[in-house]
Chains A and B, each alone.
Chain A
Amino acid sequence: SQQGEEDPQALSIQEGENATMNCSYKTSINNLQWYRQNSGRGLVHLILIRSNEREKHSGRLRVTLDTSKKSSSLLITASRAADTASYFCATDRGGSRLTFGEGTQLTVNP
């Protein structure tokens, strides 16, 4: 099975609400990343959090990492219709390789 698994698989919210997505992984990591993919497009890097960090912010994004639970969460505050996309977590495997989860499909309704 994949190293990273996102939860929920799909999330539908109203514009202005917050969206929270979770990622669990199985083995120890050096870092965890979150990427965004608009439909039919390539992935865009959002944020990287290292194993010795607990929380990181970037604009409306907040990422937490709990290495004891092997889990991470991505919070998008004050969501916009333009945030509609799939969000993937990725964990490092060494040798610059990443393992991606299956993603959370976020729909933000105007």
Chain B
Amino acid sequence: DGGITQSPKYLFRKEGQNVTLSCEQNLNHDAMYWYRQDPGQGLRLIYYSQIVNDFQKGDIAEGYSVSREKKESFPLTVTSAQKNPTAFYLCASSIGGKETQYFGPGTRLLVL
């Protein structure tokens, strides 16, 4: 089956800890995105990558980091600098130059 997978479904972070959220796609899409969603709100763009080995900051990049070493993978690290990390994190991908985005099932991050 083609699609986007995110893991884990739930993630718990302790104070001062960095955690990494996984996003993998087998759709052969060039572009990938990370969004944050807070309760009852829309999606805010954290980082995006249009091609391997290149990525750009979105609207709320502070406290987050990403890498894009492979076309299929776009992991997001929530660093200890992100003081309010509790949220639902969504990964998406799109064919290069096309507008429609395809979303993974999300990872819910909670702080212990």
Which residues from A are CB-within-8-Å of B92? 42-43
Q: Known: A100-B42, A100-B43. Contact between A48 and B100, CB under 8 A?
A: yes
| Chain B nearest Cβ from A35, distance in angstroms | 8
User: What 0/1 readout, one digit per residue, does chain B (26-61) give for beta carbons within 8 Å of chain A?
Assistant: 000001010100001111110010100000101000
Query: In this complex, what residue of B is CB-closest to A98?
Result: B101
Selected contact of B50 from candidates A2, A43, A96, CB within 8 Å: A96
Selected contact of B58 from candidates A35, A42, A97, CB within 8 Å: A97
Report if A110 contacts B (CB, 8 A): no
Which residues from B are CB-within-8-Å of A103? 41-42
**Interface range for A:** 20 to 34
- Please, how many angstroms separate the alpha-carbon atoms of A92 and B17 in the complex? 35
Are B100 and A102 in contact, with the CB atoms below 8 A? no
**Interface range for B:** 20 to 34
Are A44 and B103 in contact, with the CB atoms below 8 A? yes
Which residues from A are CB-within-8-Å of B48? 96-97
Which residues from A are CB-within-8-Å of B102? 45
Are B99 and A31 in contact, with the CB atoms below 8 A? yes
Report if B109 contacts A (CB, 8 A): no
Which residues from A are CB-within-8-Å of B43? 43, 88, 100
Contacting residues of chain B (1-44) with chain A, CB-CB under 8 angstroms: 4, 31, 33, 35, 40-44
Which residues from B are CB-within-8-Å of A59? none
Q: Name A's B-contacting residues (CB within 8 A).
A: 2, 4, 30-31, 33, 35, 40-45, 48, 88, 92, 95-103
**Besides A33-B99, A41-B105, 9 other A-B contacts (C-beta < 8 A):** A42-B4, A43-B43, A45-B102, A48-B100, A88-B42, A96-B97, A96-B99, A97-B45, A97-B48
> Can you offer 27 A-B residue contacts whose CB atoms are under 8 A?
A30-B99, A33-B99, A40-B88, A41-B105, A42-B90, A42-B92, A42-B104, A42-B105, A42-B106, A43-B43, A43-B90, A43-B103, A45-B102, A48-B99, A88-B42, A92-B99, A96-B31, A96-B48, A96-B98, A96-B99, A97-B48, A97-B58, A99-B45, A100-B43, A100-B44, A102-B40, A103-B42
